[in-house]
Amino acid sequence: MECRARTAVVAAALGVLAAPTFAGESALAPSRRAEILHLVRQECGSCHGLRMKGGLGPPLVPEVLAAKDSENLRHVVLHGRPGTAMPPWMRFLTEAEARWVIEMLQKGLPSE
Amino acid sequence: MIVATALLLAGCAQPMLRGTGDLGLVVERAAGRLKLVETTGRTALATIGGLGDLSHASMVFSRDGRHAYVFGRDGALSRVDLLSARVERRIVQAGNAIGGAISQDGRLVAVANYDPGGVRVYDAQTLELLADIASEYGEGGQRAKVVGIADAPGNRFVFSLFEAGEIWVADLGDPRRPRLTKYRDIGRQPYDGLVTRDGRYYIAGLYGEDGAALLDLWHPERGVRRILDGYGRGEAPLPVYKMPHLRGWAQAGQLVLLPAIGRAEVLLADTATWREAGRIAVHGQPVFVIAEPGGRRAWVNFAFPDNDTVQVLDLERRAVVKTLRPGRAVLHMEFTARGDQVWVSARDDDQVIVYDPRTFAELARLSADKPSGIFLASRAFVTGF
């Protein structure tokens, strides 16, 4: 619990730094990036598939996401989609982190 | 149960005879492998590879307990021989699958698919396609994702259509000509389903509203009724970061245990009246609520971010009696048939931990690569598994 709170504080600080200009990878510490990738693969993966090819939730692969509006996608990640099974992730991701997640998904997750 | 076939394992010079009653498979979901385990000495015997995308993999067992039918997220159906520890046959039968079931007579394996939505039924020996049931609903011919498939007596399969809010019963008495009975408007977004161990009831949990849908398979003509209606009492639900799972382990004596959706509670329904018989406040959003074979207690794990915790419920006292922290990301729990052990997977610690359910003592710890589901071969003999 303490660890999670600390992560959130660090993440929030990173978010403040990163948000106004760009969401590039450089704004997020490598360890945090690894945590986020783990979260995306494992927790998002439980509905969208470990390989993001879809499940109860739709596929999150570049062929599907690349043409979509990234701001809108980021909003869905942070706030969820009412009426569907998509929950809000804002408790676990800052704005900047969500932006990075969308960037990663739109170009395809790096191989493990 | 004694099968006169050699278990050819690396390092075994002499083929030996053994049964499969104490064998099981642990899914190493990221690596696409299975770990063959045994519950007598509580050891790992072999690793079986080449199974593709095993996120959300599940399996059923052949009626002789020798083979596992593994359902992969990538639509693969694999027949795995537990004795030779190898994949015997593998077909990719759909683009995206969620699970499956085996018929009462053991001859048919049915796979529930998301894409294309429907159920495909295969010959359990040859994996030849026998029937293809499209989950079409509404006017436009769209197909729903199929969830909660389970076997019922009489070579029937029962399943739910997520987007459509329907329950279908497929009678495979003639395997190439399934007879379908469709129940419409059973509730919004059924997310999973179960058949009770006696084969009498099918229950679909609902994600889109507070309640569950109940079908009495002894009296299918009476239709589907709602149970536990409005259990959320109008309160705003909490976000659900992982969909709960249902199966026949929900039954504990006269009770059926169901995870509340969006509430940190386990709901108890009385199977005599189908009214709520109480609820137990727990640590987070329950994912698996698994009754001990004896039905006195139940073990519960939780959705992210509370997935480092397992709680044990005393169903007589209707209370949490133990809180365990087996490891990071506890994904699944499985009891041995007689309830002397419970196996718990902790994905992020790469561990499977075996507990004595009576004393909570740790009996063994096995390493596994990102383990998720644990499936013991004794499931072969239980309706609804």
**Closest chain A CA to residue B241:** A87
Q: Provide the pLDDT for residue A78.
A: 98
Whether B189 sits inside 8 A of A85 (CB atoms) is yes
**pLDDT given for residue B212 in this prediction:** 98
Residue B50, by phi and psi: left (phi above 0), alpha (psi -120 to 50) or beta?
Answer: left
Give B-chain residues touching A47 at CB under 8 angstroms. Answer: 242-243
CB of B369 closer than 8 Å to CB of B16:
no
From the list B205, B197, B291, the residue with the least C-alpha distance to B245 is: B205
Taking contacts as CB-CB distances below 8 angstroms, the residues of chain B near A54 are: 96, 114-115
Residue A107, H or E segment: helix A95-107
Nearest to B79 by CA among B30, B117, B6, B128: B128
Is there a contact between B55 and A45 if contact means CB atoms under 8 Å apart? yes
Please answer yes or no on whether A55 and B347 come within 8 Å at the CB atom: no
Contact B246, B194 (CB under 8 A): yes
Verify cis geometry, omega within 30 degrees of 0, for the bond prior to B305. Answer: yes
Percentage with pLDDT > 90 across chain B:
92
pLDDT in tens, A29-85: 999 999 999 999 999 999 999 899 999 999 999 999 999 999 999 999 999 999 899
Task: Please give the pLDDT value at position B14.
Answer: 59
Confidence check: pLDDT of A14 > 50: no
Specify the pLDDT at position B296.
97
Helix residue ranges, H only, chain B: none
**Sorting pLDDT into bands at 50, 70 and 90, what band is B369?**
very high
B55–A55 CB contact, under 8 Å: yes
Contact state of B53 with A49 under an 8 Å Cβ cutoff? yes
Q: Per the CB < 8 Å rule, is B114 touching A46? A: no
pLDDT number for residue B13: 53
Beta bridge partners of B292: none
Does B189 contact A49 at a Cβ distance shorter than 8 Å? Answer: no
Interchain pair A47, B115: CB under 8 A:
no
Is the Cβ–Cβ distance between B254 and B270 less than 8 Å? yes
pLDDT band at A18 (very low <50, low <70, confident <90, very high): very low
Output b/e per residue, B250-280; b: 16+ Cβ within 10 A: bbbeebbbbbbbbbbbbbbbebeebebbebb
- Give the pLDDT confidence score for residue B137 in this predicted structure: 97
Please name the member of B29, B242, B305 whose beta carbon is closest to the beta carbon of A4. B305
Interface test with A, best of B74, B147, B162, B241 (most A CBs within 10 A): B241
User: Which is nearest to B247 in space by CA: B231, B262, B230, B259?
Assistant: B259
Compute φ and ψ for B194, nearest 5 degrees.
Answer: -150, 155
pLDDT value of position B29: 87
CB contacts of B242 in chain A (<8 Å) are 43, 46-47
Tell me if B240 and A87 make a contact (CB, 8 A cut-off). Answer: yes
B190 forms bridges with which residues in the sheet? Answer: B206
* Mean pLDDT across B265-284: 97
Structural domain spans, chain A: 2-107
pLDDT at residue B6, as a whole number: 43
Residue of A nearest to B238 (CA): A87
Q: Which value does ipTM take for this structure?
A: 0.87
Closest by CA to B161, choosing from B188, B132, B141, B181, is B188
Q: In this predicted structure, what is the pLDDT of residue B28?
A: 96
How much of chain B, in percent, has pLDDT values that exceed 70?
Answer: 96
Which tokens is B202 given?
């099918």
Q: How confident is the model at residue A19 (pLDDT cuts 50, 70, 90)?
A: very low
Cβ contacts of B73 on chain A, cutoff 8 Å: 49-51, 53, 55
* pLDDT of amino acid A4: 42
For range B8-27, the mean pLDDT: 79
**Mutual angle of helices A30-39 and A95-107, in 10-degree steps:** 70
Name the band, by pLDDT with cuts 50, 70 and 90, for residue B30: confident
Using the beta-carbon criterion (under 8 Å), do B96 and A49 form an inter-chain contact? Answer: yes
pLDDT by residue (tens digit) across B164-190?
999 999 999 999 999 999 999 999 999
**What's the DSSP call for residue B124?**
T
Spatial contact of A16 and A98, defined as CB atoms under 8 Å apart: no
- pLDDT for B26 beyond 70: yes
pTM recorded for the entire structure:
0.91
Q: Using pLDDT thresholds of 50, 70 and 90, give the confidence band for residue B2.
A: very low
Is residue A59 within 8 Å of A48, Cβ to Cβ?
yes
For A79, the enclosing helix (H) or strand (E) is helix A70-79
Chain A's closest residue to B370, CA to CA, is A42
Query: What pLDDT band is residue B15 in, cutting at 50, 70 and 90?
Result: low
What is the CB-side half-sphere exposure of residue B168 using CA atoms within 13 A? 24
Q: Is A55–B74 a contact, with Cβ atoms under 8 angstroms apart?
A: no
Q: How far is B242 from chain A (nearest CA, A)?
A: 7
Residue B133 · residue B121 · CB < 8 Å: yes
The number of beta carbons lying within 10 Å of the beta carbon of residue B216 is 15
Per-residue pLDDT tens digits for B343-352: 999 999 999 9
Of B53, B147, B208, the CB nearest to A50: B53
pLDDT, tens digit, 9 for 90 and up, residues B193-246: 999 999 999 999 999 999 999 999 999 999 999 999 999 999 999 999 999 999
Nearest Cα to Cα of residue B290 among B231, B325, B329, B341: B341
Name the strand (E) or helix (H) holding A70.
helix A70-79
Chain B positions with Cβ closer than 8 Å to A? 29-30, 53-56, 73-74, 96, 98, 114-115, 145, 147, 162, 189, 191, 207-208, 239-243, 304-305, 329, 347-348
Residue in B68, B48, B39, B12 with CA at minimum distance from that of residue B369:
B48
Cβ distance B73 to A46 less than 8 Å, yes or no, reads no
Determine the topology of domain A2-107 in CATH.
Answer: Cytochrome Bc1 Complex; Chain D, domain 2 (1.10.760)
Three-class DSSP category at B57 = coil
A interface residues, B as partner, C-beta within 8 Å: 4, 38, 41-43, 45-47, 49-51, 53-56, 80, 83, 85, 87-88, 91-92, 112
**C-beta of residue A39 within 8 angstroms of C-beta of residue A48:** no
Predicted pLDDT at A3? 41
